[in-house]
Amino acid sequence: MVAAAASAVAPDASRERSRRRARRRYVRSALLFLSPWIVGFLVFTAWPLIYSAYLSFTDYDVINDPEFVGTANYTRLFEDPKIALALGNTVIFTLLQVPLYVLVSLALALLLDRAGRSAGFFRTVFFLPKMTPPVAVGVLFLLLFNGQSGLINTVLGWFGIDGPAWTTDPAWVKPGLVLMSLWTVGASIIILLAALQSVPIELYESARIDGAGFWRQSLSVTLPMISPALFFIVVVNTIGGLQTFDEAYTAFFGSGNTTYSNDAALFYVIYLFQQAFEFLNMGYASAMAWVLFAVIMAITAVQLAVSRKLVYYEAEDPR
């Protein structure tokens, strides 16, 4: 009786065991594929996050050990006039840049979508500036926007407009940098164009049958269908705008710079970089980084909340 029961169970148990072994092997393969990211996340994301949070409560100059100072770095943030200046510059720049950037890339993508055969050529032309190193873009900014002899003011002169001193007048430095940044909309154009071209043609056809004209179609078909791409560009550009560094740093900062008044181009990350790597105030710079993190999180959260109302997503793929 007992023996019979045992022999009835045995094949089941061994099948169960081999199934469990197969499952373990499967999970092990999965982990193997994921391992680069897991290691990278622990070493280059998780640990830096924790350590940076710790550093933000210390005085640290790399040479001596970190010295705990409590919340001194954070209270100092409020008293440092350059923080308010840099934060203000950065926010103004981003507020000017993002809407213009999205409008220009959308306009160009719409044109390209209707361009027919020649679209490929124009797309290449629009993408080229993106391939120019930001350092060179910074150089170009100084040249083209030069108050006296720069091309921009020369062209404005043809129309009888006396162009401002873009590179030296504090009021015009940021608008100038914004205009220059519009030159590198290439990547956004490509993303929007891909979105435009994946809108099913049948949608336009049925809209036409329903009597929708060009504007009605644009509002009811095109915009909702490309809204995820638009939203993506807005979020990525906002985050990028708040972290602006390369072009402004090239044009206005660096060793031996005495030529320009650079307060107007002191963006938050430039000041952070100076604190960390020029003045070696690693603790203070870490506190600055956390404030930037909080600002970016808050803005992204607001954008996400707004997007729930405005962005249309097709029914999720069941997988």
Question: Which residues between 9 and 48 bind other proteins (CB under 8 A)?
Answer: 26-27, 29-34, 36-41, 43-45, 47-48
Sign, CA torsion 11/12/13/14: positive
Candidate segments 74-82, 87-95, 163-171, 293-301, binder of other proteins by CB under 8 A: 293-301
Question: Which residues between 44 and 73 bind other proteins (CB under 8 A)?
Answer: 44-45, 47-49, 51-52, 55, 62
Candidate segments 1-9, 77-85, 89-97, 279-287, binder of other proteins by CB under 8 A: 279-287
287: contact with other proteins by CB under 8 A: no
195: contact with other proteins by CB under 8 A: yes
83: contact with other proteins by CB under 8 A: no
Least distance in angstroms from the C-beta of 248 to other proteins: 11
285: contact with other proteins by CB under 8 A: yes
Nearer to other proteins, 117 or 211 (CB): 117
Least distance in angstroms from the C-beta of 94 to other proteins: 13
Rounded to the nearest 10°, the torsion over CA 105, 222, 237, 141 is 10
Candidate segments 11-19, 118-126, 164-172, 215-223, binder of other proteins by CB under 8 A: 118-126
Cα–Cα distance, 265 to 267 (Å, whole number): 6
**CA nearest to 81, candidates 266, 220, 230:** 266
Question: Which residues between 119 and 148 bind other proteins (CB under 8 A)?
Answer: 119-120, 122-136, 138-140, 143-144, 146
**CA nearest to 286, candidates 38, 69, 90:** 69
280: contact with other proteins by CB under 8 A: no
Task: Look up residue 102 and give its two tokens.
Answer: 């999205």
218: contact with other proteins by CB under 8 A: no
206: contact with other proteins by CB under 8 A: no
